Structure 1
Amino acid sequence: MTKETYHPRQHVLTRYKISNTTLYRWIKSGRFPAPARFSSRCIRWSESSLQKWEQSLG
């Protein structure tokens, strides 16, 4: 069984070279996967959801 890796917001912003505003605009429009919420102040994106999104781009 493999363990899922989760990335914080700053990692996502750096990985895709986008701003915080762009990230949340993409999430709201359905263009980018929503994060997993671990608590009211802790959100993370799974590596698998990010890879799946990258593959969908072509």
Structure 2
Amino acid sequence: MAEKLLRRPEVEARTGLSRSTIYAWISAGEFPQPVKLGARLVAWRESDIGDWLESRQQRNA
């Protein structure tokens, strides 16, 4: 079964981050890299976002 891909608005909703923060953190290596689906189309693996959220919660615990 193929893994679900999340588009940016859904990633923003799940993480509470803005578009600019997401891309700044990607550049800094602090957020998962998106998967390129086309010339102007990217998405994130649901598992990557889940793992990132879990690591943030553990770090803040």
User: What band does the TM-score fall into relative to the shorter chain?
Assistant: 0.7 to 0.9
Q: Is the 8 A contact 2:36 2:43 kept in 1?
A: yes
Q: What does the per-residue CA deviation read over 1:4-55, in whole Å, with 9 as the maximum and x for residues that have no partner?
A: 0000001111111111111101100011001000111110000111112122
Relative to total residues, which structure has the larger helix share, 1 or 2? Answer: 2
Please tell me whether the aligned partners of residues 26 and 32 of structure 2 are also in contact (alpha carbons under 8 angstroms). yes
Hey, what does 2:17 align to over in structure 1? 18
Contact 2:32 2:52 in 1 (8 A): yes
Query: Which runs of 5 or more structure 1 residues have no equivalent in the other structure?
Result: none
Query: Number of paired residues?
Result: 57
Q: Does the residue aligned with 1:44 lie in a helix, a strand or coil?
A: strand
Which portions of structure 1, spanning 4 or more consecutive aligned residues, are displaced by more than 4 angstroms?
Answer: none
- 1:39 — aligned with what? 38
Q: TM-score, normalised by structure 1?
A: 0.86
Q: Percent identity?
A: 33
Kindly report the root-mean-square deviation, in angstroms, between the aligned alpha carbons of the 2 structures. 1.0
Segments of 5+ residues of structure 2 without an aligned counterpart are none
